[in-house]
């Protein structure tokens, strides 16, 4: 009996030791990750990205790396979370271009209106040589390791509470909420509207109270933010595409083994594909355009109408980029446009 008790104690101590060692190993390589939306893979693109990434990383590394997600801006605004990634307080974040501009203003070169002929072209550009070039430049200037460029829900479209939009003249007197990016403000001004930079958390209230008359975002974001409750008109303009920028703390990245890096990179790319797919599904389903059409008047810009907007907006944004970023900005802009072609 005494021998049995001793054996039991030894076995229990062994189990506790294994749990302790395993827990320590896992804690040593935990990826705390910020993203802006709900942690639901069926609700929004970043929810899908975070869920797929977590699953593939933890399975692919046999638990040597685990992922903890902090959704819905729990860690603060995007620019605040970016500083936490840079400082190593958290290890990764999926950021909007609006937030990312706080550490890398050159991201504004992506805001040439009507640059892309279709959504699949955006994947080719950001997964190809231009995406690699942009990632290297971001790392050089910010010290952040780029895991990839995600889809924030597709092309940006216009909503407002005043009137249908068909021409730049229709934009007159309409206050459109934008991110704080100078390029976004310039686009709205050039197209005939009045830009109003308002933080994301305040947009619904601003539209509800008339502080802003309209806003621009992809269909899935318009839908899950329930802007149809405070907006009457939806114009499918598709005037810009703003990717998510997915970054990781460089020191943490360098702390990973080669095999762990391979898994993390593969997981991020697979997660980006999942996010793109979820964006297209929401866009086309009864949770997207179909639902919005029930309470909003929807119109699509014709090719001729798009060309009218393009003529007034593109030269203004190009000029702003060259004036603000000089030869470096012009070179990156040309590389972007060449990649689209």
Walk along the chain (341 residues) and give the pLDDT tens digit of each residue. Answer: 444 344 333 334 333 434 434 444 444 699 999 999 999 999 999 999 999 999 999 999 999 999 999 999 899 989 999 999 999 999 999 999 999 999 999 999 999 999 999 999 999 999 999 999 999 999 999 999 999 999 999 999 999 999 999 999 999 999 999 998 999 999 999 999 999 999 888 999 999 999 999 999 999 999 989 999 999 999 999 999 999 999 999 999 999 999 999 999 999 999 999 999 999 999 999 999 999 999 999 999 999 999 999 999 999 999 999 999 999 999 999 999 999 99
Are the beta carbons of 110 and 231 closer than 8 angstroms? no
Tokens 């993390």 found at: 264
Are the beta carbons of 216 and 239 closer than 8 angstroms? yes
Q: In angstroms, how far is CA 17 from the centroid of its own chain? A: 42
Buried b / exposed e along 32-50 (16+ C-beta atoms within 10 A): bbbbbbebebebbbbbbbb
Q: What domains appear along the chain, each with residue ranges and CATH number?
A: 31-152+243-284 (3.40.190.170), 157-241+294-340 (3.40.190.170)
d(C-alpha 105, C-alpha 184), whole Å:
13
Q: Is 93 helix (H, G, I), strand (E, B) or coil?
A: strand
SS3 content of the chain, % helix, strand, coil (to 5): 60, 15, 25
User: What are 158's strand-pairing partners?
Assistant: 216, 235
d(C-alpha 135, C-alpha 250), whole Å:
13
Q: What is the pLDDT of residue 3?
A: 44
Q: What is the pTM of this model?
A: 0.88
Are the beta carbons of 94 and 244 closer than 8 angstroms? yes
**Which residues have C-beta within 8 Å of that of residue 34, sequence separation ≥ 6?**
70, 73, 74, 75, 78, 81, 84, 85, 90, 92, 93, 94, 95
Q: In angstroms, how far is CA 313 from the centroid of its own chain? A: 23
R_g of the chain computed on alpha carbons:
23
Q: What does the DSSP 8-state code read for residue 105?
A: G
DSSP 214-275: EEEE-HHHHHHTTGGGT--EEEE-------EEEEEEHHHHHHS-HHHHHHHHHHHHHHHHHH
């Amino acid at each position: 009996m005494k021998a049995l008790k001793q054996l039991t104690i030894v076995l229990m101590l062994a189990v506790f030791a294994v749990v302790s060692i395993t827990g320590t190993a896992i804690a040593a390589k935990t990826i705390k990750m910020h993203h802006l939306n709900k942690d639901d893979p069926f609700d929004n693109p970043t929810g899908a990205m975070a869920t797929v990434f977590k699953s593939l990383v933890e399975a692919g590394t046999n638990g040597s790396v685990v992922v903890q997600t902090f959704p819905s801006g729990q860690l603060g605004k995007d620019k605040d979370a970016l500083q936490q990634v840079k400082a190593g307080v958290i290890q990764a974040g999926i950021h909007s271009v609006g937030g990312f501009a706080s550490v890398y203003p050159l991201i504004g070169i992506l805001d040439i209106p009507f640059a892309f002929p279709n959504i699949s072209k955006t994947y080719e550009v950001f997964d190809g040589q231009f995406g690699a070039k942009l990632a290297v430049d971001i790392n050089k200037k910010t010290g952040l390791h780029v895991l990839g460029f995600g889809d924030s829900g597709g092309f940006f479209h216009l909503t407002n509470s005043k009137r249908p939009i068909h021409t730049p003249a229709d934009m007159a007197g309409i206050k459109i909420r934008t991110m704080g990016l100078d390029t976004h403000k310039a686009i709205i001004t050039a197209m005939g509207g009045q830009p109003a930079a308002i933080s994301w958390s305040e947009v619904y209230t601003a539209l509800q109270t008339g502080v802003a008359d309209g806003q621009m975002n992809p269909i899935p974001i318009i839908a899950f933010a329930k802007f149809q409750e405070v907006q009457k008109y939806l114009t499918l303009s598709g005037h810009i595409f703003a990717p998510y920028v997915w970054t990781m703390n460089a020191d943490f990245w360098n702390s990973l083994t080669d095999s762990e890096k391979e898994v993390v990179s593969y997981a991020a790319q697979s997660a980006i594909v999942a996010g793109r797919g979820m964006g297209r599904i929401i866009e086309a389903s009864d949770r997207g355009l179909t639902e919005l059409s029930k309470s909003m008047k929807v119109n699509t810009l014709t090719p001729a109408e798009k060309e009218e907007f393009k003529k007034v907006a593109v030269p203004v944004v190009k000029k702003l980029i060259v004036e603000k970023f000089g030869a470096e900005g012009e070179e990156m802009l040309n590389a972007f446009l060449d990649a689209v072609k």
